[in-house]
Amino acid sequence: MATVGPDFEKQPLIPVIAQDHASGVVLMMAWMNAEAYAETLATRRVVYYSRSRKKLWRKGEESGNVQQLHELYFDCDADTLLVKVTQIGGAACHEGYQSCFFRKLSADGTSFETVGERVFDPAVVYKKS
């Protein structure tokens, strides 16, 4: 069995799709660099790279809604990852929803509707002033 993984030399930041291990719900999309990837493998807790903060983002470090890694896949070009996780706390989205993909195009294609219920209130969890 070959030991090949994502190609961080080709692209230092790789997109990552997070999917709920049990339900298959797509939770979010984020980025990983080689350091985040190595820490994820070592701890089995998903770590991303925050492009806005320019540093590692240990999912759940503020909210407590961590992602426990079950399986990790990379695509045929070795430049995109899929992580199958258990979402501890029930919400992957910083807006309090299970999934970051909570806006759905309406049937008539003219607007977006919110689907799903908020799991937590971001104002309380993040205590933004």
Q: What is the mean pLDDT of residues 86-112?
A: 95
Q: What is the mean pLDDT of residues 118-128?
A: 87
- The strand pair at 14-20 and 26-32 is best described as antiparallel
Q: Who contacts 43 (Cβ-Cβ below 8 Å, separation ≥6)? A: none
Provide the residue ranges of all domains of the chain, joining segments of one domain with +. 14-119
The structural architecture, per CATH, of the domain 14-119 is Roll (3.10)
pTM of the model: 0.90
pLDDT value, residue 128:
64
Q: Which two tokens stand for residue 120?
A: 């937590």
Please name the residue that has the structure tokens 């002033």. Answer: 129
Share of the chain above pLDDT 90, in %: 82
pLDDT in tens, 26-83: 999 999 999 999 999 999 999 999 999 999 999 988 889 999 999 999 999 889 999 9
Rounded to the nearest integer, the mean pLDDT of the chain is 93
pLDDT band of 127, cuts 50, 70, 90: confident
